[in-house]
Amino acid sequence: MNPLLEKFNTKYTSSPFEEIKEEHYLPAFQELVKTSEKEIDEITNNPEKPTFENTIEAMAFSGEQLDRVSNIFFNLNSAETNDEIQKIAQEVSPLLTEFSSKISQNEKLFERIKSVYDQKDSLSLNEEQLTLLNETYKGFVRSGALLNEEDKKKLEKINMDLSIKSLQFGQNTLASTNAYFKHITDKEELKGIPEAILQQYEEDAKEKGLEGYVITLQYPSYLPAMTYAENRELRKELALANGKKSFDGGEYDNQNLIKEIVKLRQAKAELLGYKNYADFVLEERMAQSPTKVFEFLNELLEKATPYAQKEIEELKSLAKADGIDDIQSYDHTFYAEKLRKQKFDIDDEELKPYFQLEKVQEAVFGLVGKLFGLEFKEINDIQKYHSDVKTYEVSEVGSQKSEVSSELQSSDFQHPTSDYKALLYTDYHPRKGKRAGAWMTSYKNQYKQNGENSRPHISVVCNFTKPTKDTPSLLTFQEVTTLFHEFGHALHGVLADTQYPNLSGTSVKWDFVELPSQFLENYCYEPEFLKTFAKHYQTGEILPKDKIEKLSESKSFMEGYQTLRQLGFGLLDMAYHSEVGALENKSVKEFEVEKTAATNLYPSNPETAASPSFSHIFQGGYSAGYYSYKWAEVLDADAFQYFKENGIFNPEIAAKYKILLSSGGTKNPMELYKNFRGREPKVESLLKRAFG
């Protein structure tokens, strides 16, 4: 029996992880693609006249089991992969791409869709139905429905090649990351690195059967070394290894893949009638055009550059005192930490004991309980894909108060209902089969059908330092903000309340998707909130008031530098996808240096490049969309300013914001934002927060 082909007979129909074997995946995909094709055939060949219900709505609810299995497989390919799963992915991706192409190029089906679309003004559809109809029609047109037969085949081949090459890009990056580690036996070489981090390095060495210490390129291992190691040569070696990921000409090199992916995307755009791939992508974004994106990025670049240059001058002065006249990029984090400690008397290692992972999570739970009436209860009868994973039942509570973070409870929040809202998975620690970074994802979307509101299954995945035998997992303050960021995304899924699964949760315009995540980060800097959970894991002592105030003041520390760094990535992404043929006579490195020149504050090292491991745009969904991080910062700064002006726990504003989150992609995001804020967002809100 293949559990992926059966109805999931589990609590909340959760994913039956412990019953799934690797050999189940390929047969399940093959069978479910056939089943989904039959569903589409029934819609296509329905003898009745095309209607919204028998065509558009029927399509929205088709292929549910295939979607569930795809979510399981590809999420595990990111969080718990191995050679066999990666091999299966190479077979499954083309299969799904072919299936998708068959649907999007089904002329008879498109005729039915177009028939409904052409009469939309007389159908008395509600706003969400109209959105679904418009999105379905546009989706087909953008997938080549209006192309001739020959061009449809070309597009199908391009899509197939892109799916394989993007997958390969990610696999190469992961393999390249895992291939490197620095083995050190002399503790003196690690001078400056805090004892708690050294314990972790010892644990990593033991895992590899080695004496001494091991530093890897995984973020919780790499960053502390770059932050605290007084050994400049060690920092240089680690930075070089990190910058060489998939850029060393070896087995996992991604340079040719980048050129191939960019060329294929351009060919796809031209085939569909667009000047370049950025034009194609941005048609479906809030920004709408490359011109508007470049104007936005360059306006921020002009404003932020003087601040960034001033910040680097301060770091140069510190380095000069240590006898370093030629400060390099691998010195930045080390001297930035020194400067931060000097300015704010803040030391990440000194702060970490106040940010025990479990307590920070309780704080997030308490905050969203206070704002949105949610309660989180850990449950142990849900199957998991790894022992690190924990599962929570999320409910919307009534007048009773949540048990977590009781200090955040308020009589202002009386919610009339008490019911199950979502299933939440958390997966917090790095391991060999898990890609770097942090992300939120979904195993099941929310939707309403046959009188039932089918609730979502959401996952938050991070890479925080593992607990040791003596110490729990303690977070840097940056990791605290990372956890809040991902929970902001999770809220978008948890609170989803839409009719159709493809308009639910984070299914919004891509440059709107980061608003909820970046918005929630703001609370980490609020003294009123910080004092409720920043407590020493051994003594229970609250983080001293002066430290809390300094943390709050430090929010804009190195903001100029960080802004330029983000703008560099955004400009590079836009250049790859808007400058036709620009890569043909240049190496990836030459192109990168040229396009990021205005944002680079340190000399470029010829041996390193960011592009070959830039998974956001070459594997993830951020191609021609990396700018959206800064775009969403304008939205989140403007939204949080609204709270600040009226109280950061203001129940009326929280209720309006909850509507924005629960609406998913059912409305134009600018309309959603204006309904919440009463006006369009202002870029001045971001500039004020960043630079005063």
Per DSSP, the three-state class of 590 is helix
What does the H/E/C string look like for 151-214? HHHHHHHHHHHHHHHHHHHHHHHHHHHHHCEEEECCHHHHCCCCHHHHHHHHHHHHHCCCCCEE
Which listed residue (156, 375, 486, 592) is catalytic? Answer: 486
184 vs 191, 200, 216, 468, CA distance in Å?
12, 13, 11, 20
Q: What share of the chain is helix, strand, coil (3-state, %, to 5)?
A: 60, 5, 35
Interstrand relation of 213-216 and 457-461 (parallel, antiparallel or unpaired): unpaired
DSSP assignment letter at 421: E
Q: Cα(366)–Cα(322) distance, rounded to whole angstroms? A: 45
Q: Cα(256)–Cα(240) distance, rounded to whole angstroms? A: 21
In the Cβ-directed half-sphere of 202, how many Cα atoms lie within 13 Å? 13
Q: Cα(591)–Cα(585) distance, rounded to whole angstroms? A: 9
CB 239 within 8 A of CB 602: no
What letter represents residue 183's amino acid?
H
Q: Cα(50)–Cα(119) distance, rounded to whole angstroms? A: 11
Interstrand relation of 439-444 and 457-461 (parallel, antiparallel or unpaired): antiparallel
In DSSP terms, 444 is beta-bridged to 457
Q: Cα(672)–Cα(125) distance, rounded to whole angstroms? A: 19
Per DSSP, the three-state class of 375 is strand
Q: Cα(187)–Cα(595) distance, rounded to whole angstroms? A: 41
Write out the two tokens for 275. 């000047």
In the Cβ-directed half-sphere of 370, how many Cα atoms lie within 13 Å? 21
169 vs 343, 418, 617, 623, CA distance in Å?
41, 45, 10, 14
Q: Cα(591)–Cα(551) distance, rounded to whole angstroms? A: 38
486 is catalytic: yes
CB 228 within 8 A of CB 234: no
How many other C-beta atoms lie within 10 A of the C-beta of residue 89?
Answer: 21
CB 35 within 8 A of CB 65: yes
Write out the two tokens for 79. 């969080």
What letter represents residue 375's amino acid?
E
Q: Cα(476)–Cα(565) distance, rounded to whole angstroms? A: 21
Among residues 216, 126, 214, 203, the alpha carbon closest in space to that of 177 is found at 216
Q: Cα(171)–Cα(435) distance, rounded to whole angstroms? A: 9
Among residues 340, 409, 427, 415, the alpha carbon closest in space to that of 373 is found at 415
Among residues 307, 306, 311, the alpha carbon closest in space to that of 343 is found at 311
Interstrand relation of 374-379 and 390-396 (parallel, antiparallel or unpaired): antiparallel
CB 349 within 8 A of CB 194: yes
Q: Which residues are catalytic, by number?
A: 486
